[in-house]
Amino acid sequence: MNLTIRLDHVTRRYRDAVALDDISFQIGTGVTALLGPNGAGKTTLLSLLSTAAAPDNGTVEVFGHRADGTLAERTAIRRRLGFLPQEVEFPSGMTAFGFLEYIAVLKEWNDKTARHREVRRVLDAVQLADRPTIKIRKLSGGQRRRLAFAQALIGDPDLLILDEPTTGLDPEQRAVFRATLSERGRHGTVLLATHQTEDVGAVCDQVLVLDRGRVAFAGDVPSFIDSARGRVWVDDAPVPNAVASWRDPNRRVRSVGGEPPPTAEPVDPTVEDAYLLLVGPTPGVEVAA
């Protein structure tokens, strides 16, 4: 594995709250899913990796450089990094092309011809090649999300950090996004923070799960799914003490975990099943049907 990211005993606090609690892991080439409930420390981790924040203890390395090191080290990381935050604020009045050119200038694309060629390339990659001169305020929510993704692709970065990138995308757009990520994972590193477990099963090689600031799981996707094997059932009624139960399209009840009666039939688990067994359902969300 070509190592891209290494964390060694990293802790990050916010006053009295511990966001990351002595975590260590490594990430190499490929697509890695970052999963975890709200408040698990995912956003804090992304801020450390993108050099926007520093740990209180431990070491964060990206491409062998300290993410909290000298300006030269942080700049070396940023030149090989594409980052898509969960929320992107676009400058007022800009066109799609103008916004991407602005980002390209910030990324030191000083040759105008090469810069314009790169802007057109990323617009095409996110299927916005026919929208370059339209004001951003006139784009749909999904189109603005794709534009935000496009800015992360400028310069063909070796590391892509994406926070909930498929929010607002329709099924066709999500399919294009998955194809793009699969291709990039062949020669680079993608860290995909998401709540969309179907994206994990479709494109990811590895899974990293955070829960309450600690690493709950780190490994490949098949191993993660196998951790739920023999613990997922279908029956005519919910399994007692199940973590979650819901009625499937065949009008049978799928239960994750619990104490199955003799009538319950085991079924193949999914990424979502493994996640629910590891950290439980998100508080306040009704899972049972």
- Confidence at residue 6, expressed as pLDDT on a 0 to 100 scale: 96
Q: Given pLDDT bands bounded at 50, 70 and 90, which one contains residue 1?
A: low
Residue 285 located in a structural domain: no
Residue 66 located in a structural domain: yes
Residue of 143, 134, 146 whose CA lies nearest to 93? 134
- What DSSP letter does each residue of 101-150 carry, written as one string? HHHHHHTT---HHHHHHHHHHHHHHTT-TT-TTSBGGGS-HHHHHHHHHH
Convert the pLDDT of each residue in 39-61 to its tens digit.
Answer: 899 999 999 999 999 999 999 99
- What does the block give as tokens for 121? 């390339």
Q: Is the pTM value of this prediction over 0.95?
A: no
Domain boundary at 179, 199, 220, which?
Answer: 220
Number of domains in the chain: 2
Segments forming the whole domain that contains residue 253: 227-279
Do 232 and 196 share a structural domain? no
Q: Given pLDDT bands bounded at 50, 70 and 90, which one contains residue 287?
A: very low
Taking the CA atoms of 124, 126, 130 and 131 in sequence, report the sign of the dihedral they define. Answer: negative
Phi then psi dihedrals of residue 227, to 5 deg: -65, -15
Do 204 and 232 share a structural domain? no
Do 143 and 13 share a structural domain? yes
- What DSSP letter does each residue of 203-246 carry, written as one string? H-SEEEEEETTEEEEEEEHHHHHHTTTTSEEEESSPPTT-SEEE
- What does the block give as tokens for 248? 């499937």
Convert the pLDDT of each residue in 129-148 to its tens digit.
Answer: 888 888 998 988 888 888 99
Residue 19 located in a structural domain: yes
- Cα torsion through 224, 275, 82, 173, rounded to 10: 100
Residue 92 located in a structural domain: yes
pLDDT at 174 over 60: yes
Do 132 and 263 share a structural domain? no
Residue 288 located in a structural domain: no
CATH of the domain at 193: 3.40.50.300
Give percent of the chain above pLDDT 90. Answer: 70
pLDDT at 251 over 70: yes
CA-CA distances (angstroms) from residue 181 to 153, 160, 234, 235, 243? Answer: 11, 9, 33, 37, 32
Residue 153 located in a structural domain: yes
Do 139 and 14 share a structural domain? yes
Do 174 and 83 share a structural domain? yes
